[in-house]
Chains A and B, each alone.
Chain A
């Protein structure tokens, strides 16, 4: 019998991988993995600045959920043999800088950043759900379930951000637009490279 769970997983996932639209699934998993990785780094940056403040526990809780998301996508990435985006080191730094930068604007600034990012991510997950539903809801049932669950989690983060006075942040609309533009660019690039 195999020593670890890994070989069994490799064997089982062969079947999971046949008959799927590989280019579409590749893109979806690659960009989602990059997104969760970036979100992780954003929360890490926010915690570095605001970890000991009153919103520390909230941010920590959201961060923990993102860590779970990232773990799930790591598994999916191995199962579907998807290549990670080559920009990961860049998202590593950029995410942390965004998180820390927005946190330096204060607690409301950090919440505004959270709202902007989570809104982008929810929209993005929604369009992926639409794509998969158009392709074949039955074939991609597991993936759809995961993405729906994560979309709901991100929506929840978005609402938490609003509850904590994100809209009262300095230059809220400018900040939000800028961050969402950045997210769109990140999504575009991570899908392809």
Chain B
């Protein structure tokens, strides 16, 4: 009994020493952080091995912690930058990059698991990391969704940029504005198609208070991008009106798409077309109202001048 207790306390002491060592390493060398992150993953996975869990996914895990990410990262918290392939510090990966890779890998599991920590865990496993890597992220899947939205927006910008280049080179016709807006919104919404079942869940998570600043930011920069490539050069209040209108069109079309069951979402695209046409008409109508108003006022002024000069004939030569 004494021996067992001694062994347990020794193991605990050893664990604390390990932790202390890790803390010291952290303090000495901030660059160690990404290495620490992966060291934590490996450490946790080792702990999990010691206590066999009920979850079957854990049992798939290899006993050898050293073959993670074969192209980089040393084993253990050693301050060495040479990876297993003898590669130098170019393979140094920031924690942010690591998170991006995990989230990107997690996307393929979203149709099955939804926007959840499970999907992230599965994604981490395809990269050879412990499923506990999902602990790096918020449990409601927020980062995964924001990452996806950000990726889609970047893709959209790339598409629009390419299209612009083609027009500049004369290889494509410049589209009229309403057509351009329709195509841009459709292209962006089509990126949701593989995840359409779980997208309503994502939308509700994006509306959570702690996500609103980021999701709003992503939305506004996407709309601004679309208008920029559509050739908007307004520098007055129209800047705001146009973006507000397009945001409304995008959001309503997205909601329609959630409930659309027509083949290839043709109802959605027809809805989009009608909304864009409405917006264009409204703009034209506003202009017409203004011109009509101006014309009416001028007419009244002319009438007033005529009447006043008719009533005072002595003023006329």
Chain A interfacial positions (CB closer than 8 Å to B): 1-3, 6-8, 10-11, 33, 73-74, 77-78, 81, 83-84, 86, 88-89
- B235 A33 Cβ-Cβ under 8 A: yes
The smallest beta-carbon distance between A87 and chain B, in angstroms, is 10
Find the A residue at minimum CB distance from B240: A86
Q: How distant is the Cα of A86 from the Cα of B236 in the complex, in angstroms?
A: 8
Q: Which residue of B lies closest to A89 (CB)?
A: B237
Q: Tell whether B174 is near chain A: CB-to-CB under 8 Å.
A: yes
Whether the pair A1, B233 counts as a contact (CB closer than 8 A) is: no
Please, how many angstroms separate the alpha-carbon atoms of A33 and B234 in the complex?
13
- Interface segment, B38-46, B163-171, B259-267? B163-171
Q: List 13 A-B contacts (CB under 8 A).
A: A1-B170, A6-B231, A7-B168, A7-B231, A10-B228, A11-B164, A11-B165, A11-B168, A78-B233, A84-B236, A84-B237, A84-B239, A89-B237
Question: In the complex, are the beta carbons of A81 and B167 less than 8 A apart?
Answer: no
Q: Is the CB of B170 within 8 A of A2?
A: yes
B224 at the interface (CB under 8 A from A): yes
Q: Which of B165, B167, B224, B236 contacts A88 (CB 8 A)?
A: B236
User: B233 — which chain A residues lie within 8 A by C-beta?
Assistant: 6, 78
Contact call A7/B235, Cβ cutoff below 8 A: no
> CB within 8 A of B224: which of A6, A11, A33, A81?
A81
Judging by beta carbons under 8 Å apart, are A2 and B168 in contact? yes
Task: Give the 5 A-B CB pairs with smallest separation, nearest first.
Answer: A74-B235, A77-B235, A78-B233, A7-B168, A2-B168
Q: Which residue of B lies closest to A33 (CB)?
A: B235
Whole-angstrom CA separation of A33 from B237 in the bound complex: 13
Residues in B whose Cβ lies below 8 Å from that of A7: 164, 167-168, 231
Judging by beta carbons under 8 Å apart, are B239 and A83 in contact? yes
Cα separation A10 to B174 with both chains bound (whole Å): 14
CB-CB nearest in chain A for B234: A84
Q: How far does the Cβ of B306 sit from chain A's closest Cβ, in whole Å?
A: 24
Nearest to A78 among chain B residues (CB) is: B233
Q: What's the nearest-Cβ distance from chain B to residue A92, in Å?
A: 9
Nearest A-chain residue to B236, judged by Cβ: A88
Q: Which residue of A lies closest to B229 (CB)?
A: A10
Bound complex: CA of A74 vs CA of B235, how far in Å? Answer: 6
Residues of B within 8 A of A1 (CB): 170
Q: Which residues of A contact B237 (CB under 8 A)?
A: 84, 86, 88-89
C-alpha spacing A11/B239, complex, angstroms: 21
Residues of B within 8 A of A6 (CB): 231, 233
CB of A8 within 8 A of CB of B235, answer: no
- State in angstroms the CA–CA spacing of A81 and B232 once bound together: 10
For the complex formed, measure the closest distance between the CB of B227 and the CB atoms of chain A, giving whole angstroms.
Answer: 10
A4 shortest CB reach to chain B, Å = 9
Contacts of B174 in A (CB 8 A): 3
Complex contacts, A11 vs chain B, CB 8 Å:
164-165, 168
Note all chain B residues with C-beta closer than 8 A to A88: 236-237
